[in-house]
Amino acid sequence: MIAGVSTLIVLALVIVLVPLAPGWEAVRASFFDGEVFVRVFPDLLRAFLLDVAIFAWSVPMIFAMGLAIALARGNTNPALFPLRIFGAVYVDLFRGIPVVLLVYLVGFGIPGLGLSRPWNSPYIWGTVALVLTYSAYVAEVLRSGIESIHASQRNAAICLGLSERDTMRFVILPQAIRRVVPANMNMLVALQKDVALLSFIGPVEILRQAGIFKSLLANFTPYVVAAVIFLCVTVPATRYADYLLNRDRNARS
């Protein structure tokens, strides 16, 4: 009740006060133009499908790479110590560089080596940049999941005569992956947004398409439309991730 009243008051204040700002008329005209909204919406939605496609083919690669790096970092075999080093450097490197910078460096740098079509495509190297960054994060999430499985599980498996490899594959990993599903869901939400960074190196996806419309119509409304389209996907996805996280917490307590 109190929450409802206070929400109403704040809402009323915003609605009354914001239009009183001196620049409001100009802002409304350039950001919230209904006509422009209707005109650009279908094209932006179509452009968004490209974002979805890039997202869709990145995800399996991110998880495959993330798992490989997590296992490389987690191995305890002294002979495979170089692999551990490699995993640690990989994670430090690609977690430490801003995604947008990596998109530029990989997306412009590698085709600049003089590769011929189709190997100079920004789709390929933009995707590679996303995979490098996000697999580094996913590797850390998976590693924390693996380490959260109690040592007694490993002991039980080893004592049955299972090999280290089978112990990881059948006993540790299935439990670890289940445990980090919520954290990985949040990762996917972030990835979905970062796909738009590929617009900087060429692909005409939603952000670039919105920029084209902005120049064409001399109006910023296309950016608002793009934001709305993103929210339609990311809000339900975030809520679902929260739901999974809560369910997990309740199940364990």
Partner 1 sequence: MQDPRLSLRGVTKSFDDVQVLRGIDLDIAPGEMVCLIGASGSGKSTLLRCMNGLEPVDDGEVWLDGVDIAEPGFDLAPVRQRIGIVFQSFNLFPHMTAYENVALAPRRVLGEDARDRIEALFVRFGLADHINKYPDQLSGGQQQRVAVIRALAMRPQTMLLDEITSALDPELVGEVLDVLRQLRDDGMTMVLATHEMAFAREVADRVVFMDQGVVAEEGAPDAIFSAPERERTRKFLASVLR
Applying CB under 8 A, which residues contact partner 1? Answer: 152-153, 155-163, 166, 170-171, 174-175, 178
How far CA 242 is from CA of 46, 61, 175, 188, 238, in Å, comes to 29, 24, 20, 13, 6
The tokens for 134 are 């996000």
Nearest to partner 1 of 178, 239 (CB atom): 178
How far CA 58 is from CA of 52, 87, 233, in Å, comes to 10, 20, 17
Q: Cβ of residue 157: shortest distance to partner 1, in angstroms?
A: 8
Please, are residues 125 and 106 in contact by the beta-carbon 8 Å criterion?
yes
The alpha carbon torsion through 3, 9, 14, 19 (nearest 10 deg) reads 160
The maximal CA–CA distance of the chain, rounded, in angstroms, is 76
Nearest to partner 1 of 157, 196 (CB atom): 157
The tokens for 62 are 């991110």
Q: Cβ of residue 166: shortest distance to partner 1, in angstroms?
A: 5
Q: Cβ of residue 160: shortest distance to partner 1, in angstroms?
A: 4
Q: Cβ of residue 3: shortest distance to partner 1, in angstroms?
A: 38
Please, are residues 211 and 199 in contact by the beta-carbon 8 Å criterion?
yes
Q: Cβ of residue 161: shortest distance to partner 1, in angstroms?
A: 4
Nearest to partner 1 of 162, 245 (CB atom): 162
d(CA 143, CA 180): 10
The tokens for 66 are 């993330």
Nearest to partner 1 of 142, 226 (CB atom): 142
Nearest to partner 1 of 85, 156 (CB atom): 156
| CA neighbor of 121 nearest in space, from 107, 135, 141, 109 | 107
Nearest to partner 1 of 15, 159 (CB atom): 159
Q: Cβ of residue 242: shortest distance to partner 1, in angstroms?
A: 23
- Cβ count within 10 A of residue 173: 18
- Residue 79 DSSP symbol: G
